[in-house]
Structure 1
């Protein structure tokens, strides 16, 4: 029957099924030549999102090279429990194999090479050995958390012939699952699950702060149930020290519940085990909010969640429009204004999220032009602003109220040249102000509680280089840093903010576990948060040209097209609410904006350093 020829090897054909109607489009089996080298296993071409792909079982009397090929193909199928892939294994190997343990993503083809010392040309042999190799791109761990990786992948595969049936099967295999990057993109999708910020910066919050925790789930294997199980299991290890879940420890889906789906009223009912049976109304509403935030990130077809006890009784129900009373999420509220520094070095603003073209000075001293500015940041409530003086030495804070006076600088740098002084500041959602001093004699990251007082030096364990740019996420838990290394390269790193209030009179603030968010860029020139777990970045690729792209906090690339190309980008402003246009400052065109589905348009030529609140 039909077979595809790939890399000189005839690859087993897989069945492709419409998920909606179950119609088989293609099915078949293939044999492979008994001689010749085993070549590369190429990644499967991208399939339409409405298609489900199922692997074919091993053909009768398949040779070792066919078994290896078929097993690798089966790993890329939509088989929920990898039942077909297990048919290529011995009983013992299948019993011990844990596909959920990890998914290793390779850059391209999986190379399958004969292991030196094994004669694969003799059919009379009872064992064969191969080595799988490739270039690593990433690892998705048992918590479904994505981590970029580099280096060579090399893992053994051993086959043995069953003495009774005479069939070849794999008895030694790599841990978890391995596949090429294009297969990974077809099989997996990134989804934010949500938890609540713990140990936050102020006691004045009227509601909890939701923090996104991105994970990867299999796209067409009941993604909704996967995501709910992942949410119940708790946050990923990187985020866990800074967040909490309202689900009691040990909460799972009720025994026997294998799949979840909303009804025709867009209501999802989630039956929980006995661990959740004793929660009160407010705690239940928090649990339902976590579910709604998470599921709305996955699909728009859920607008109500009902939680049920183990005995079938209702714990609580919550509708989408009720979540704002429980928790705030950075990507929900859009900005009232876009801000920038005009040609008179005043802080000015444009209303309606930057869709207008005329600017007006902000109320207060920072809009009067007495103190010349080079950059500024505006608090999330748009009541206070911080401005960096035109020489980069001094940081000023003033209220956006008419007639407000400008006090003395809250921070000053001793850097000898402008490039070695203060960065553009950034406000977190609790009203604290972050900025880095690039003075080579004393490089440091500092935070000013409520925008004033004695600056707190922030500890950054593992930091190699100096901080050249700072942007705090709306949740106040994560921070994006552009770090300049000794060789001059500038990398985008994401850190987790932690605060210890028990150490003394003043808290100890730390940024921990820095990780790369744009590993493919060697010279990041500008960045901004552009969603709950997404940033927009301008920079230069390794050995390439300047580019602009979206990246996820975990270092993965989000789905969808990148922003339209723009030359000479020196700063970027993006709202965490993606309905607001992307704004940038270009050395060639001044301040420009990009709305969804459009091209870059000029806002004003004589202006610089655009920012949204934050």
Structure 2
């Protein structure tokens, strides 16, 4: 049936040439594209070794319309830097108009393609194919990832040239479309760095570096891609709360095609004349942004040299960058804190294997107040604790003999679960907590942990009650577990602060543009920041069982394995510094997961483990 019909499009992974480290080879197992046949889904290419570069084949002479469609879709998944091969499947006019870098649509599987014969005529010189699939995510022109759902359907029109009689696409799909496995092979997530624009840290240096994750093509000169992306500025979501030190209009010098560090791991970055007049301090900030960004991509960059206007502007190494800005992922905590069997605050050296905790100095460790949850400031000078019944918030200094006064905050909720959440300290030394009272649910901030709480404005469309709060080390992002009915999800918001015009008035603080980091999860029971743009989450996917996984702030799944399984997890904590072990509270007590090992018991009687923050 339909042996002479050009209706279905079928894709095979063999329509590509791969260049491996040992040389250029033709992929084995190649199969030719059928000229005709029944409708087939356009299958995703099997996951290839990331060291293999894949280049598409141009259209052959007298290719059928189905071959043109399949070859074009295959070319979209190749490592062709500017999609030049994919453009050969288009008419000259369509090739000029097409903008493949405008967006990438990721589908659960490769796109299906079905021909629609106009007026029932199969010999027409004009054909429309409908591409279909199930959306998983989109990557926009700024390379920013966003989860997506629902059906994908888009038309693609082909014409046959009257003279050459060759089929070509004159209306391609918008941007690029591919299956999830092809996306994982082609793209990788990398953090680029900017500086918090409204945050003054309580410790030196005073500038916070903020990670802005983007997806770049892993085999298409990712180093140069990341530099160009950094120079273009932050993504729209992060832009209101960060700044770049690069002058507006700064770009790579027009003579630069590719950037490569030398044999001493020094990367020289020639810039255009927009950067030629920057001063030494500004230049150091520019170099720090580049160094933080590229070290997140590769370990082969130890120093940045910036040039513009025919001269060297500055040079900056890793040690010098630490004097420019601070990243949460390189600030090591001194201690791990938790509550002992008497509900007092105790601590262990974070980087040691000691199993005998000591009470913290001060009333929260030495006094009589029983606690259910705690938080320790990032400088480890202050601690906050929620009373055992969840009603009161106490704040005290971690100094021996330090007093504990009256509660800084009291909730009117009827039960412990309807009262105060575990608190969280931000980078400025301010304390955040959620009051879960159903009659008056609020997100609150206490300046330096004391005084009258400030009600933090949340988006009007926020549905559900905030159950837990964790502020990122950069001070401009906040993670919230929000519960609505039987479902709870992890949302990431942007913190904005604005000073009131009236003298003596406090600044207004608000959370904006909440977005889900766990779109497929039905329940989130515990979470913690575990990197500059990564969190560790405990919960359940739809219809699943309890699991523990790392997630990115943009809702994507980071590369690498999930933490080792741990049963009965009630609480989890991680440091942004990946050198420190993951720590949990489970049915076995307080346990930790050093890198490359299995879970190890710390103490049997203990709850509420936290690193500073």
Query: Following the alignment from structure 1 to structure 2, what is the Cα–Cα distance between the partners of residues 277 and 252?
Result: 11
Instruction: Say whether the 8 Å CA contact 1:354–1:581 is kept in structure 2.
Output: no
Q: What does 1:91-130 correspond to in 2, within 5 Å?
A: 91-115=92-116, 117=118, 119=120, 122=122, 124-130=123-129
Q: What does 1:76-87 correspond to in 2, within 5 Å?
A: 76-87=77-88
Shift of 1:116: 6.7
Query: Following the alignment from structure 1 to structure 2, what is the Cα–Cα distance between the partners of residues 202 and 51?
Result: 44
Which residue of structure 1 lines up, in the alignment, with residue 214 of structure 2?
Answer: 215
Shift of 1:282: 0.3
C-alpha distance 242-38 of structure 1, shift in aligned 2 (>3 A): same
Which residue of structure 1 lines up, in the alignment, with residue 373 of structure 2?
Answer: 375
Could you give the per-residue CA deviations for residues 237-289 of structure 1, whole angstroms, max 9, x where no partner exists?
A: 00000000000010000112111010111000000011101100000000000
Instruction: Say whether the 8 Å CA contact 1:14–1:28 is kept in structure 2.
Output: no
Which residue of structure 2 lines up, in the alignment, with residue 172 of structure 1?
Answer: 171
Instruction: Say whether the 8 Å CA contact 1:438–1:467 is kept in structure 2.
Output: yes
Aligned length: 603
Runs (5+) with no aligned partner, structure 1: 1-6
Which residue of structure 2 lines up, in the alignment, with residue 509 of structure 1?
Answer: 509
Shift of 1:8: 9.4
Shift of 1:366: 0.2
C-alpha distance 116-405 of structure 1, shift in aligned 2 (>3 A): farther
Shift of 1:32: 3.8
Could you give the per-residue CA deviations for residues 443-470 of structure 1, whole angstroms, max 9, x where no partner exists?
A: 0000111111111000001311110000
Shift of 1:38: 2.8
Could you give the per-residue CA deviations for residues 378-415 of structure 1, whole angstroms, max 9, x where no partner exists?
A: 00111110000001000000010001000111111000
Query: Following the alignment from structure 1 to structure 2, what is the Cα–Cα distance between the partners of residues 441 and 95?
Result: 59
Matched, 1:543 2:540: no
In terms of mean alpha carbon deviation, does 91-100 or 16-25 score higher?
Answer: 16-25
C-alpha distance 272-457 of structure 1, shift in aligned 2 (>3 A): same
Query: Following the alignment from structure 1 to structure 2, what is the Cα–Cα distance between the partners of residues 569 and 340?
Result: 15
Instruction: Say whether the 8 Å CA contact 1:345–1:369 is kept in structure 2.
Output: no
Which residue of structure 2 lines up, in the alignment, with residue 364 of structure 1?
Answer: 362
Query: Following the alignment from structure 2 to structure 1, what is the Cα–Cα distance between the partners of residues 324 and 200?
Result: 18
Could you give the per-residue CA deviations for residues 531-552 of structure 1, whole angstroms, max 9, x where no partner exists?
A: 0000000011011111110000
Instruction: Say whether the 8 Å CA contact 2:118–2:127 is kept in structure 1.
Output: no
Could you give the per-residue CA deviations for residues 479-511 of structure 1, whole angstroms, max 9, x where no partner exists?
A: 0000011x2211000000000113541111000
Matched, 1:500 2:498: yes
Runs (5+) with no aligned partner, structure 2: 1-7
Query: Following the alignment from structure 2 to structure 1, what is the Cα–Cα distance between the partners of residues 119 and 515?
Result: 41
Which residue of structure 1 lines up, in the alignment, with residue 585 of structure 2?
Answer: 585
Matched, 1:523 2:509: no
Shift of 1:164: 1.5
Q: What does 1:104-503 correspond to in 2, within 5 Å?
A: 104-115=105-116, 117=118, 119=120, 122=122, 124-201=123-200, 206-309=205-308, 311-353=309-351, 355-461=353-459, 462-485=461-484, 487-503=485-501
Shift of 1:602: 1.1
Instruction: Say whether the 8 Å CA contact 1:246–1:286 is kept in structure 2.
Output: yes
Query: Following the alignment from structure 2 to structure 1, what is the Cα–Cα distance between the partners of residues 20 and 229?
Result: 23
Shift of 1:202: 5.8
Shift of 1:22: 3.7
Could you give the per-residue CA deviations for residues 124-173 of structure 1, whole angstroms, max 9, x where no partner exists?
A: 31011110011101000000000001111000011100112110001112
Query: Following the alignment from structure 1 to structure 2, what is the Cα–Cα distance between the partners of residues 29 and 601?
Result: 49
Query: Following the alignment from structure 2 to structure 1, what is the Cα–Cα distance between the partners of residues 555 and 179?
Result: 17
TM-score, structure 1 normalization: 0.96
Aligned-residue RMSD, C-alpha: 1.6
C-alpha distance 342-183 of structure 1, shift in aligned 2 (>3 A): same
TM-score, structure 2 normalization: 0.96
Which residue of structure 1 lines up, in the alignment, with residue 4 of structure 2?
Answer: none
Instruction: Say whether the 8 Å CA contact 1:253–1:273 is kept in structure 2.
Output: yes
Query: Following the alignment from structure 2 to structure 1, what is the Cα–Cα distance between the partners of residues 13 and 208?
Result: 50
Which residue of structure 2 lines up, in the alignment, with residue 4 of structure 1?
Answer: none
In terms of mean alpha carbon deviation, does 195-204 or 154-163 score higher?
Answer: 195-204
Instruction: Say whether the 8 Å CA contact 2:344–2:371 is kept in structure 1.
Output: yes
Could you give the per-residue CA deviations for residues 341-371 of structure 1, whole angstroms, max 9, x where no partner exists?
A: 1101100001133632111100000002411
In terms of mean alpha carbon deviation, does 42-51 or 556-565 score higher?
Answer: 42-51
Aligned residue for 2:254, secondary structure, equals coil
Instruction: Say whether the 8 Å CA contact 1:143–1:236 is kept in structure 2.
Output: yes
Which residue of structure 2 lines up, in the alignment, with residue 17 of structure 1?
Answer: 18
Query: Following the alignment from structure 1 to structure 2, what is the Cα–Cα distance between the partners of residues 31 and 351?
Result: 62
Aligned residue for 1:353, secondary structure, equals coil
Instruction: Say whether the 8 Å CA contact 1:38–1:65 is kept in structure 2.
Output: no
